[in-house]
Amino acid sequence: MNALVLFGIAHGLLWKVLSTLSKIVFLIIVVPRLPSGVFAEYIYSISITMIMAMVLSAGTSEHLPTLIKGKRDAMDRYSPFYIVSVTLGWFFLFAYILTRQYFFLLAALAFTHATYLIIAGLLRSIDPKYYEWLNNFPTILFTIICIAVTISGFEHLILIFILTNMTINMAIAFHGEVSISVNYDRLRSAFEGSVGLAMKGITKTISNMLLIADFRALIIFPKFLLKHNPSDALAIAITAGEALWQLAMVIVNRNYVHYCKGEGTLRSSMRSGGILMLGMVFASVIFIYFGIPITIEKFDWHLVGWATVFFGSMIVFMEFRYFFWSRHVAEIWIFATQILIILVQIIVMFVLDEAMWLPATAMILMGVTIIFLIIGLVWKR
């Protein structure tokens, strides 16, 4: 491994660590200062609009890199996606500022996510550093701004998110020399390409949409099915567990690269997922049984522990998903598993009080995951 490769890995890890620390700082310093219910509403809106953005971006984040392959002339062909998305994002933002209509704010948020996904697809194969900046720098700047200002409510928080992310997205696109030249022929060419792109990547796009629902079901579905707004404590716990999950995903993403090269076996994938899950379960013990001797408003450390258990199970699922994706098999079973994870959480919501939603879901998924791993490892001997 040469020095350039090592520098690239170090660069990526540095940004990931800084981004994760920013999320922790946001949870500890910013969230307790927010009015009650604002953070849960924020997570709900971010989740719903990200699902919308995956439809709007037509799977570009996943599949544009395979078409561009580091070639700038190929990138220029698809750059009209970016121009259309960023234009609509600013249009809906200004419409919200003028009218104060909530719909326009959500539309602007959806196109903010879509712009990120499109730029990621355009620049990912040009230079990995752009993808690392897109993934991490907006989170850092967003946290700094939220600490510096007094946030009056949910819409104010979303407005800061949109302005921060749109500005960073455009700056990175400019630095990456994404073309802003648009004419009818280029728009038509990009649109024609997008139809095939969307159909080719539809399975991964649907799976990624379901993944958001898997992670945030206890935040998203109560509003629809129970007419109930989840607590900030639940939203904080899920966000904290997801932050720990993202650190573990550094290893899973690296495994995916090897799987795509035909390396590795299902047994090695099981072993990797099992070890990562075990690490997250050990981390959860600190929160659940030993406790954290620090009191932070709106924090429930036990819920954070159970969220860590839940995301430990999801790490195993992600290992399997990437392994089967690399072999182009079992896509229907991936969908079925994701839908089942959502259904488990919905059933738990209907039969238990909110305080038990996360512990019950975590215990059920962990039990099923352990049984599956044992059966799989014995069967594969």
Concatenating the DSSP letter of every residue in 299-363 gives: --HHHHHHHHHHHHHHHHHHHHHHHHHHHT--HHHHHHHHHHHHHHHHHHHHHS-HHHHHHHHHH
Q: Are 201 and 179 in contact (CB under 8 A)?
A: no
Structure tokens at 318: 């992600």
| Residue-level pLDDT at 353 | 93
Asked if 90 contacts 166 with a C-beta cutoff of 8 angstroms, the reply is yes
Q: What is the pLDDT of residue 303?
A: 94
pLDDT band (50, 70, 90) for residue 266: confident
Tell me the two tokens of residue 278: 């075990």
Cα distance between residue 20 and residue 247, in whole Å: 8
Token reading at 25:
């700082």
Query: In whole angstroms, what is the distance from residue 181 CA to residue 350 CA?
Result: 52
- Enter the pTM of the model: 0.85
pLDDT at residue 361 greater than cutoff 60: yes
Q: Is the pLDDT of residue 339 over 90?
A: yes
User: How much is the pLDDT for 3?
Assistant: 60
**Is pLDDT at 31 greater than 90 in this prediction?**
yes
Residue type, 135: N
pLDDT for residue 179 is more than 90? no
Which range, 120-124, 173-177, 250-254, 264-268, has the best average confidence (pLDDT)? 264-268
Task: Indicate whether 2 pLDDT > 60.
Answer: no
Nearest one of 336, 310, 334 to 322, comparing CA atoms: 334
* 15 has a pLDDT exceeding 60: yes
Nearest CA among 207, 170, 229, 167 for reference residue 36: 229
- Least confident range of 186-195, 218-227, 241-250: 186-195
Cβ atoms of residues 72 and 126 within 8 Å: yes
% of the chain exceeding 70 in pLDDT:
85
Question: 40 or 122, which is more confident?
Answer: 40
Least confident of 20-24, 144-148, 291-295, 370-374: 291-295
**Residue-averaged pLDDT of the chain:** 84
Res. 180 pLDDT band, cuts 50 70 90: low
pLDDT value of residue 6 = 57
107 confidence band (pLDDT: 50, 70, 90): very high
| pLDDT exceeds cutoff 60 at 319 | yes
pLDDT at 381 over 60: no
Residue 169, number of CB atoms within 10 A of its CB: 26
